[in-house]
Structure 1
């Protein structure tokens, strides 16, 4: 078993006034050669956007981009004809593929938006760009793992072009559950959205990250009422 621990205050940080962003991995002006990725998990940005502000239209290609709102309403527009608003309790995925342009704005003039922006390196390049958005609130589970992303179109949650699974864990204090790897070549990056937890002897606080791989599974225990995101991804980069 191998592990890596990223304390919340060790992340990169950018304050652009309208945008405040914490970067778990190297991004934009934050560069740390030891924090480039966790397997195919390339970007994990913890963003806060001021009211009425946002990201103007910009391009992406050959990347699976996942957005998970934590607070407020985020408006999305893209070059494949999508106009949508995503909010807490939903998940959005965009396969950039051969190329897509999109913009993201805080739809509200009187409150901030907080959301996670996650980039996954795909296992298929030059795919047709696509967009999907679903409610994950309807399948909400307590003290269990709720799958919100997978490689399978017919499975629970959204799907991406990669052998990856995301789960949300909303645990009451003292509850624990074993996570079983879907693929022995994968690892899991655990990100504590709120509360605290532990895996083995490693204690995790809010916004801490913890990667674990070369194991068949592990037990996640909540040491407080907690909400935790688990991202299982391949550890080898595509050739």
Structure 2
């Protein structure tokens, strides 16, 4: 929270007025609001880079895996870490055998900077900016799930395209919630919980489909 407050305060003190002045030429009376949203977005991005890289990355991985264990997907979690017997889901979490969630990459930062000028377009530009950020944030929320599934890039992309609308919607919610000053650290965890619950539901759907197909084939053979 101290990190989030410090970054947000710094950004508003040193970058809000210059950006609002520039936006006054494109957004008119909406410049104050648009600039505030932009500064919050920039602060959120910086906070995400520092906090998830240096402070809470391991805690988010434990949260994601713990939620999966609570939803009885032990086999999936065991692909990425040791799982102990007994106790509550968090107590069962053992040593990681796979690297944790992906860090914020330079490529993602460059893409973010490229999208920033969209905010100079009144209202519509900001909406498009959030949608584009959400389109990226949705799949990123399931990085750990893809890792546990041992999916390659092609398998991940095929899955993402199958659930494209849902991933974009989830990502937009993630982006908007983590724009809230101070509370963004809290929502980083709740977003992780939501992503893990969704992953557990998807996993159960996959298991059901995989289990149903052999039974149908067996019934067909008996009918013959």
Calculate the TM-score normalised by the size of structure 2.
0.25
Higher relative contact order (CA 8 A, sep 6+): 2
Structure that is richer in strand per residue: 1
Higher alpha-carbon Rg: 2
Higher helix share: 2
